Structure 1
């Protein structure tokens, strides 16, 4: 579950991308997640981005679990080509379940989503390179290579080399390049303009539907380390969830079944306008109850044990 940006305090967390970072709950069921969300959400004066206002009753929404009369928008750009066959099959089956529960399914067009992935991987690394610059071994944090006679520069280099993983280093370098003189407007500035267009697309879509839905990812999970040498392939797995993050709205992912071709779980993503997190729990709870009834139990009890005993 990704709450509305600013609904859950980030105080005490290491800042990665300040305009995107948002803590959220995980749970075995929609109701469990709502109970945790209810505890986590609220204003915190120690977080400058924290929302000071009334928060939706997500627990009551999860317990209600009713979609009758609701309009559910299917995003045209987040389905079809590039999505695994088994992922699409479980997604469309879930849509049929929601329709059978009384929801009206409509298709919405969000043309700017085509550029969301590129925009995100300019904005996030740019903010990352700025935020993580503070970990220089001089003021706080990890410190290695501090032997007699070592220069400040050598200690910084040794510490940052030891403390940051390959992917973090890659993003710092990319972000520093995007923010460098002569490239700021061409890359970071353009990415922020795309972000504005994505926010506008969401506003138009939510004028047509109460919530929006899509597969959570175009494929099922890849094997550990399988794509670590191909960052572009890894990044493409985020294509459906990145627009929510860029717009600062709320989103939820829940299991929709197992893909026929590899027997791995498929995610179903639900999105709602900012501060309308309760809608996610209302729809998610209704869908979960119907699917669990079909499966004869929660999906975790049906998933195969890969590479070991169950």
Structure 2
């Protein structure tokens, strides 16, 4: 009987260990990825004019000052040393390894998708098999004259994939079980969307695509300047983001795809008041949340509940076994 008591204890410990493991895997414990967004950007980092396809590793788009001129660049951090590239010289390949099933729930209605549909997702938290795209306002020359921050404007997606019915969405999640907050919805008629970015900020979000093919997205950064430089004291720079989604999509073809232009919005470069949580301000805390994919919350919730139920069953069994063992000892 004492052997059975020990077995009950072992099962109970295993169940509890399973709950802790699930919490670690699912990001329920704090600080799992808080350091992923900590980076130092140096003014000595190199600039490359080479056209490049990025399919793995870390990259950020953002405003950068080169030879006194503002431009939209991609800080390619996938190699041994970071390299800045003009945004128009980069194609982001989103491999089939990025495919995920759309979960059920009204919170994902702005994807405009049915539960179970397969979408390609550049996740908010890094997947080593997929390119990891974010944005930053950390270029030393730009941030030194940036007043509070910049507005990143993303226009409607276009390109062969969109012409064939493909959709693109951009959203963030502040925690594993929190509802997504859509910066660019995937449903309805897409229009330009403004996202406020504080100065010296590094942010990541979920870039989601409904179909394979080539997507082109116009992007612009505008910032009021502390030195009064730029038109009416505002510096703006525009470019195009290009995505080749799916392993079978020829990434080189994306370089020839043009995005629609954005109308001038220099007057929209700074919010009238401090951004609140409900608008398109994205904080560092939001971006560093432990969500790894937009469906992991549901999977982890089921797993943790099951583990908790198992722990309760094992605990009851253990208590019963202890009582029986105690009675045997008393009657021995």
Q: Which has the larger radius of gyration?
A: 2
Say yes or no: TM over 0.5.
no
TM-score, normalization: structure 2? 0.23
Which has the larger helix fraction? 1
TM-score, normalization: structure 1? 0.24
Which has the larger strand fraction? 2
